Structure 1
Amino acid sequence: MMTDLAAGIRYVVLGQRWLAQHPGRYGRALLPALIALVLYAAALLVLLLNAGALAAWITPFADDWDSPWRGLVRGLAVALLLAAGLSLTVLTFTAVTLVIGDPFYDALSAAVEESEGDCPAGPERPLWRELWAAAVEALYVLWRATLWTVPLFLLGFVPVIGQTVIPVIAFAVSGFFLTLELVCYALGRRGIEVKERLRLLRGRRWLAVGFGVPLVAAFLVPVAAIFLMPGAVAGATLLARDLMGAGPAPDAEPEPGPAPGPDLTKPAPARP
């Protein structure tokens, strides 16, 4: 567990270092995250301005409660709404950014693999199909993440554990699914569908958590998300190569080699 957690954190650093060593790849990769940041900043501002009304709407049972209990419950509801909004922002921010920046990030991921050697060619599809596939995969990941987010949101109302254990679990879940989104280019290039990617990461879940959680924490700082996203894609590409053993695409045919010759290290059999 600890080894995989440390390895995941290391891939975060390696991805950022790769971008620092290849600054020519950095500029264009910033644009998708910048566009997504403007959209999400507006959405979070709307949530913040309406959080009180939403808290009152989801806690009608507290209408007749005396002070300070009504205020405490609704204050907790506001905090949980904002926490859920931030959590969903982290998850969907990456998905939307990856859809917007699909051509940029795919080229960046391929450049990382070429620098490491053994870059699969990947399927050749028109741009509209690439964008459609990216959107469908993003919705699938969001749906799977929501299956965790909603129960964790409700458990946040439980005293004590809702304010201690549940936020830690929520961060780990967010980190795992963030990693699932970011490995899409390297694993998709190998013909691995999103459900199989999920299975692969479950087998190395602490590696995925170790990679994703630092990025989740960093992405809570809005400006940081813009500058860290290209390095996150680069680091996820390196992580995906680890998952696959840096091997060729699963469907690739092995290249024919020379015909085996005699083993000159063994003595010739005795003649009768």
Structure 2
Amino acid sequence: MFLNKRSTFFIALFGAFLLLSSCNEYQKVLKNTDVKAKYDLAERYYNEGDFKRANRLLEQIAPKYVGKPQGERVMFFFADSYFQTKQYYLAGYQFERFVKSYPNSDKIQQATFLEGKSYYMMSPKYSLDQTDTDKALAKLQNFINTFPESEYFEEANDMAQELTTKKQKKQLEIAKQFDKLGEFNYPILISSITAFNNFISENPGSIYREEAYFYRLKSAVTLARNSTVNKLEERYTEALEYYNALMKAYPETEFKKEAEKLYQYIKDGLNLEEEEVSK
């Protein structure tokens, strides 16, 4: 059955009346000094999903409930209202306070998880400063170690792995920058090789490990080709070791074509036959 224009008008008018009444109630309580009224309205807004208005009210009353029975509930709602409104820095700070203040709370698992997730949400792309990523990893790892049976464990583990991969990406890109700069300033290639060695030893399960093996070989060959005579044999021999390591770890490497070209430089540099190079 279709509504006529008159009915539609009255429904819209009634909706506007309710909205106005709600706004008036909110503004009235917000300016009131009645802490209990603020608490009741804040809880109602929180349960209805109106976290922005709940947050404003909770911000006013949270200090009033410190040390009181309702303090735990108020503090959790306050922290979560920041999280729900995507104010992650403040959420992380408030959840951290909650965890320290109420270690025996039945909300401790959720609060500890959301504390870590707040910092996870602030983690920037890999090319930027990773201070928040480091903090998120520490918080998430603490949660994983403390609550291995939690319903949030899998999500926390996934987030921690994502952040670890992001940090590995940054570490690899820094090493690759050394490799790129070394094409114009050959001594920098020594730092490049060191950076790739560190990456390989520090990240045994990384998805970027194969790439690190290849770029280490590339840096080593470029360095050898541009070395003084007294350094040639030593550096080509080192490059050969890196080539063999790449092919042993990744016999079907995606860098095989480029690696074979570098391999030829090694053979020529050492004046060795095929069977000697592969020893």
- Shorter-chain TM-score bucket reads under 0.3
Higher relative contact order (CA 8 A, sep 6+): 1
* TM-score of the pair, normalised by structure 1: 0.26
Which has the greater radius of gyration? 2
* TM-score of the pair, normalised by structure 2: 0.25
